[in-house]
Amino acid sequence: MSKAAKTTFVVEPEENWIDNQIGELKENGNRAEKKEEDRVNPKPEEQKLESPESEMKPSLLSQIGVPRLSLLFLVFALLGAGAFAFLFVRESSLRQGAVSQLAQTEQERLELSQAVSQLRIEVAEQREEISRLVADLKAAHVKAGLVDTIRSDHEAELARMKAHYEEQTESLRSILQIRDEVITTFESNLNAIRELLKSNTAAVEPRSAKAQAASGGRMSPARGIRPAGRPGVAVPTGRVLKVNPVQQFIVVNLGSNEGAQEGLYIQIYRGGTFLGEGRIDRVYQNLSAATIVSEDTLSSIQAGDKVFLVF
HSE (CB half, 13 Å, CA atoms) of 174?
Answer: 5
Residues 194, 234 within the same domain: no
User: To 10 degrees, what angle do helices 58-200 and 2-40 make?
Assistant: 170
295 secondary structure, DSSP code: T
Residues 139, 210 within the same domain: no
Residues 225, 101 within the same domain: no
Domain range for 242? 204-310
Would you write out the chain's pLDDT as a tens digit for each of its 311 residues?
A: 444 444 444 444 555 655 666 666 667 666 766 766 666 566 555 444 444 444 444 444 444 445 667 777 777 778 877 777 777 887 788 888 888 888 888 899 899 999 999 999 999 999 999 999 999 999 988 888 888 888 888 888 888 888 888 888 887 787 777 677 767 777 776 777 677 666 655 455 555 455 444 444 444 433 434 444 444 344 678 999 988 887 788 999 998 888 899 999 999 999 888 999 999 998 988 889 999 887 777 888 999 999 999 87
Q: What is the DSSP string of 213-253?
A: HHHTT---TTTT-----STTSPPPEEEEEEEETTTTEEEES
Residues 26, 94 within the same domain: yes
Which is it for strands 306-310 and 288-292: parallel, antiparallel or unpaired? Answer: unpaired
Residue 270's CATH number: 2.40.10.340
Domain closes at, from 155, 172, 200: 200
Residues 7, 78 within the same domain: yes
Residues 237, 192 within the same domain: no
pLDDT of residue 60: 46
Domain closes at, from 144, 165, 200: 200
Residues 165, 218 within the same domain: no
Count of domains observed in the chain: 2
C-alpha to C-alpha distances, 44 to 6, 50, 51, 133, nearest whole angstrom: 58, 10, 13, 106
Residues 184, 240 within the same domain: no
Residues 159, 212 within the same domain: no
Domain closes at, from 200, 222, 252: 200
pLDDT of residue 20: 65
Residues 211, 276 within the same domain: yes
Residues 301, 174 within the same domain: no
Residues 73, 177 within the same domain: yes
